[in-house]
Amino acid sequence: MEELSREEKEAKIRNEFEDLEIPKIKKENEDLEDPEEEPPKAFTEALLLDFLDAKSKTTYHRDIATKLWQRMEKKEEKSTVDEFIKAFFEEESLIEEKIDNLNKILPDLEKEQIENNTVLDGFRQAEALNRHGINENSKVEVFIRELTFLDPNVIDLGLGIYMICK
């Protein structure tokens, strides 16, 4: 598929936006004095979200949409299609740059993952488990803080010496 030029992308975005924008702006401006008057080419953040949702055929990523809205110049919390297009290409450029950076480090990360899996496999092969799933080379240290005998036949002589009477 052939990549569109910036001008072609801009024209496509403008047409798609106007298809969505004009009915909503007309509805919002039903009180215009002259019904033949062209509604203003300004839109709100809600209209921007509607456009992005319609364009992506799902709920558009709200963080990116918020960044687009913040990047746009606004008057009285409204903006224009031209500002949207400008902000869109700026944000697209930033996202493409991030993708390029990630693609540069991806081979190193994949190599590191393979090395880590190799080391892990070595540990798994060296580990022998008993029937309870515990490593046979495991050691348990038990520290006795206090010892109480319930058997009256055991007498504590002190210094860790006990006498068992039978």
Give the model's confidence band at 45: pLDDT under 50 very low, under 70 low, under 90 confident, else very high: confident
**Comparing C-alpha atoms, which of 94, 81, 91 is closest to residue 48?**
81
pLDDT of residue 108: 95
pLDDT for 53-99, tens place per residue? 887 888 888 888 888 888 887 666 777 777 878 888 888 888 889 99
Residue 78 parent element (H or E): none
* Mean pLDDT, residues 102-127 taken together: 91
- Tell me if residue 72 falls in helix, strand or coil: coil
